[in-house]
Structure 1
């Protein structure tokens, strides 16, 4: 196959490979923001739910009052119907009487009138009785109709209120479901946050352990180099002993300002104590306070060999090295280089790595 053919085949194979994107796990901060957002939604939904519940309560009160009005209207309607029936029955009796004996009786009454005026009065009386009956019957019919219309209106209003109540109850149910869903989401986020924090703590501990191993290896290499240099220096000194008197007369000895401990060991011990809880007055091995930790790092013994006050009395060094001591009034820690220290901060915390604050000096015991 020629080169062009091979390139085409390679391109075809490459284009056929399905690339699956890899997404990083959300950080603790991202999860906390999601939780805060979900909690805000829960609060908003709860406010809406409270409003709906208040409207339902108000509607229930209105429905109760409307029901009482309907009951009263029904009672008034029944009374009006009874009065109508009574008036109608009384009118029928009077009409029957007037028609059965009435024409003759009415004529006799009119004929028996004392005078014309008396006759007119009696005729008017008979007419008035008829008119009164018809008027009262009409009034009762109209009253009954008004009450019946009122009852219909109240029942329509009650039906509308019941429809509104059904709608609000539906909204209440939906809001309850939404709130339950969001609360479940918040609970799930709590678990995710807990798991993310656990993983972050594990990763930080692993990083610190790896850094401790690296620092310990570097310290051991430095210790071995220092020992080699001392051996070389001793050999050179014995070889030049014939010139020592002259040298003593013309030169004074200088101090290398070396610490009275092996700095690499101090750093290594400090890393080994990471994660141990702070306990006031403790000097190890399971817990430390600040000077107890420094004393262990400097001497390798679980006893108090120094205090922050005694360390604070030492002069500041101009060339800080890993294994020196960071100190201020009331607190101290082991310098590990790059502006960082390992210290036991306070009750409720653990031995950990931290940046050296500006109010601390670096001294060399």
Structure 2
């Protein structure tokens, strides 16, 4: 019979150990998150490139406006040069008309009217200077007009080149915007995939947990049945003899008291640290789970279990898991210590100091200790001591 009890214990330990290393068939959340991070980095790079293009477009628009002002000014200067050239031409025509239309005799008369040879030379030089002035002015205005025309043409070509560059930048902007939009859609899809993967992982964990709890409950029932059978066999030899009945019965009562986990065998808290909390909580392993119950020996739920365990150490916390989520101070799981309060969504338990949890789990398994406190998604860890 003892062998059967030992085998049942070994079976329960093996079932509990299976909860430590779950294997998920769902897609890797880490891989999806890495893909999302890579896509976000790429979008950030594209956004930077788009910002550079927008800056170039803005600068180009400013330069183009300035270039247009130069073109407008050159056109005005060209019109003024043409007007001046035309005015000079008209003046020259008048002088020619004055000097030549009446006939060549006017110049001759002018020369013959000289009082002396020196006066003659002066009048001849005057006539020549008038012709030279007109020629120089015409050449000057023609050169100015040509220069302004060339400048206007150059400015027009530069403006056309800048306009083409602006069009190319606008195309680049549109192309980048399309790529960024596609990447953002990809990120949104990755977000959805991550949420789906997390949900699938949690569902698989929950299914595994329920299966393990059911298996653990069956193993616990087998252990209990084996212990009861052993106790009954220990009591049977004392019945034939009246002299030995009292002693044997007393021995049976003692065995029943030690194995039943009643309140008479509960040891009060030994110390005030987290390990004392763990040691005290372990005394109630195997006791039943009762929703809304408040008895550590006859039936209690998860939040009632943690409330009464901490109360034994003089610590007062709320009765519900939602109230206990704000008890004490929050610490990261990486810094969790024995006796800390583990808070889940809809559940609570006590950290055993080695990665596991002591808790009133469910009606199927009662108060148990598991080796993996991350069998479901943690909400927070609270330090209440």
User: C-alpha separation between the residues in 1 aligned to 2:46 and 2:187?
Assistant: 14
Contact kept in structure 1, 2:75 and 2:152, CA below 8 Å? yes
User: Which secondary structure does the structure 1 equivalent of 2:36 belong to?
Assistant: helix
Higher relative contact order at CA 8 Å, sep ≥6: structure 1 or structure 2?
2
1:75 is aligned to 76
Q: Residue 246 and residue 340 in structure 1: after superposition, are their counterparts in 2 closer, same or farther (change >3 A)?
A: closer
Q: Residue 86 and residue 296 in structure 1: after superposition, are their counterparts in 2 closer, same or farther (change >3 A)?
A: farther
Q: Residue 65 and residue 123 in structure 1: after superposition, are their counterparts in 2 closer, same or farther (change >3 A)?
A: same
User: Which secondary structure does the structure 2 equivalent of 1:307 belong to?
Assistant: helix
1:260 is aligned to 262
**CA offsets 1:161-188 (integer angstroms, 9 cap, x no match):** 1111111111100100000000000011
**How high is the TM-score relative to the length of structure 2?**
0.66
User: Which secondary structure does the structure 2 equivalent of 1:328 belong to?
Assistant: coil
1:41 is aligned to 42
Contact kept in structure 2, 1:49 and 1:175, CA below 8 Å? yes
Deviation at 1:93, TM superposition (A): 2.1
Deviation at 1:265, TM superposition (A): 4.7
Contact kept in structure 2, 1:343 and 1:354, CA below 8 Å? no
Deviation at 1:54, TM superposition (A): 0.2
Structure 2 gap segments, 5+ residues each: 1-24, 264-282, 316-336, 343-347, 361-368, 375-385
Contact kept in structure 2, 1:335 and 1:342, CA below 8 Å? yes
User: C-alpha separation between the residues in 1 aligned to 2:30 and 2:39?
Assistant: 14
Structure 1 gap segments, 5+ residues each: 1-23, 273-283, 286-291, 314-325, 345-351, 358-365
Q: Residue 235 and residue 328 in structure 1: after superposition, are their counterparts in 2 closer, same or farther (change >3 A)?
A: same
Superposition map of 1:1-365 within 5 A: 26-239=27-240, 242=243, 257-258=258-259, 259-260=261-262, 265-266=286-287, 269=289, 285=292, 298-301=297-300, 306-310=308-312, 328=339, 333=349, 340-343=356-359, 355=372
Deviation at 1:52, TM superposition (A): 0.3
C-alpha RMSD over aligned residues = 3.6
Q: How many residues align?
A: 289
Q: Residue 229 and residue 67 in structure 1: after superposition, are their counterparts in 2 closer, same or farther (change >3 A)?
A: same
**How high is the TM-score relative to the length of structure 1?**
0.69
Contact kept in structure 1, 2:338 and 2:351, CA below 8 Å? no
Deviation at 1:241, TM superposition (A): 5.1
Contact kept in structure 2, 1:312 and 1:329, CA below 8 Å? no
